[in-house]
Structure 1
């Protein structure tokens, strides 16, 4: 049995919904952490596959299981935060995992940047075939302090805050309203963006977590990408309140364009070509112009050919190249290049 602590240094929250095939891997990675004085709160959000029983049988006194009716991942994360006893909360999705020193590195980030509201490491994207690519590439600085002025430009080429690789200040998270309940996709990005508007998040470019693409009942598989994510409204409200931040506004719009193009691809792939083409034609993008043109050409193909070429491209492609960075404002310094997963 793992060591216990009456006074844990930080809390770990794991939302669980039908991940019986992966929850043991996630828990094993938490129990292997070099930081031992932690509490682990697993919130079972109405699972029907026996995953909660695996948690209950793990035999680690630091792990607490809370069961509740299904309310969505935001409700599960919010409940875990409410049950936590520590001022710092790290998150891990039930189908992901951590490197053994992940929490230790987050703790050191916090000591080096105590005024931040969040601390995050890079992460590896692990495909079902075992292929691994970094979530954020081409960053060599030891630490990057994320603010609205650089977050969107960096996120064009790799989201630097991942829900399985971040630790937050609990009080700051509660002040921005926690996770948005009822939002099926993009709820995590919306939360990190709202938190970023409250204070800086510090990013370590060395991977500390593994984002696994083999999870059971994944939200990205169950739900089509929406035409408009909740974080679009969150970002645009900030932009209206900061009309002088013109470069942030341009970077934000390109960040949103990535998701618009993904929505158009889904529409074209599954039969609504007219709607998909309308989204692409209205999308004024420089960062993703090549992808926009490619999808417009492919949308002229028969449905079976479009789907077949999409599958072939996914099977044969190497790790995707970074899109060209946007030109900086005159006199501004462009941030380091990153690649979007």
Structure 2
């Protein structure tokens, strides 16, 4: 490229050969064209990078590294980024063509905003819409909103000023390169970063109307491991305690309840009614406030968990009766 781009798009790639071309195509189709696309080759074993190398658009750069995980790949992308605005796209997700145009305008018009985001729609493995939309809170975002409900929603939604990352940079060990995402996190690395921004900087989070990210739901991936996901979230909570103990003491019960409700909804999609109901009971015991904070979603989740558990119990009794008759 002959000039410094306005936006650097960071796309970590690790074994996503089935999806990566669609992800790259969605970037190259952006109505805002002043960007570079940094494909971070995280040392996968499939044909993902071979597919990436077939692109001849000069805005596409491939940067290879030994495997460092998603946080490490994003850090590498930020290190190599030339733009004053950095956007992230996971290589199994997609963007609507107007995404960058709308976020760049938003940041240019609002110098106090450091993190811009919007709603996301869910798609399945085949890219088909699931009629599920993440509709985040857009305005008046405080640190507790980030901790309780993570309005950004997913790692492919935010578009962030480079200056924000400069303000939160740290070295994991003396002499190591600067880090922005904590590479000790293999899940929840994004929410850990967002809450660190919210608690330690003056930059504001603000959303824009519209849904510009298509987030792929892969129930067979790491996100389906409910126990591991909660353990990782608990590490985020510990990080919050280390940053601001008074804040953590006030907001941790409700934040945990929302996280347990989120995991219950994942269990419902996995048809595990027993686990979903157990998680919802734990959520309400931890903080009944989720009932009046978000009554419809909480009661709907509880009802779905109870119904699924009843169906599973009925199926079990029917099967047992059939065996006895046989």
Q: Report TM bin, short chain.
A: 0.7 to 0.9
| Structure 1 position 132 matched with structure 2 position 131 | yes
Of Structure 1 and Structure 2, which has the larger fraction of its residues in helix?
2
Deviation at 1:226, TM superposition (A): 2.7
Deviation at 1:238, TM superposition (A): 4.7
Which of the pair has the greater relative contact order for Cα pairs under 8 Å at 6+ separation?
Answer: 1
Q: Where in structure 2 are there 5+ consecutive unaligned residues?
A: 170-179, 292-297, 317-326
Deviation at 1:207, TM superposition (A): 1.1
Residue 6 of structure 2 contacts residue 34 of structure 2 at CA under 8 Å; is this kept in 1? yes
Deviation at 1:221, TM superposition (A): 3.7
Correspondence list, 1:25-104, <5 A:
25-104=22-101
| Structure 1 position 170 matched with structure 2 position 166 | no
SS at match of 1:11: strand
Correspondence list, 1:1-341, <5 A:
5-128=2-125, 129-136=128-135, 144-148=139-143, 150-152=145-147, 155=149, 159-177=151-169, 178-197=180-199, 198=201, 199-214=203-218, 218-221=221-224, 224-227=228-231, 229=233, 230-242=235-247, 249-250=250-251, 253-261=253-261, 269=272, 279=282, 282-287=285-290, 290=299, 291=301, 295=305
RMSD over aligned CA atoms reads 3.5
Residue 164 of structure 1 contacts residue 209 of structure 1 at CA under 8 Å; is this kept in 2? yes
Residue 45 of structure 1 contacts residue 76 of structure 1 at CA under 8 Å; is this kept in 2? yes
Corresponding pairs, count: 290
Q: Deviations over 1:200-249 (max 9, x none)?
A: 1121131121112259x733146742335132223344552458xx9xx3
Q: Where in structure 1 are there 5+ consecutive unaligned residues?
A: 307-341
Mapped to 2, the partners of 1:298 and 1:97 lie a distance apart of: 32
Mapped to 2, the partners of 1:170 and 1:14 lie a distance apart of: 16
Map of 2:176 onto structure 1? none
TM-score by length of structure 2 reads 0.75
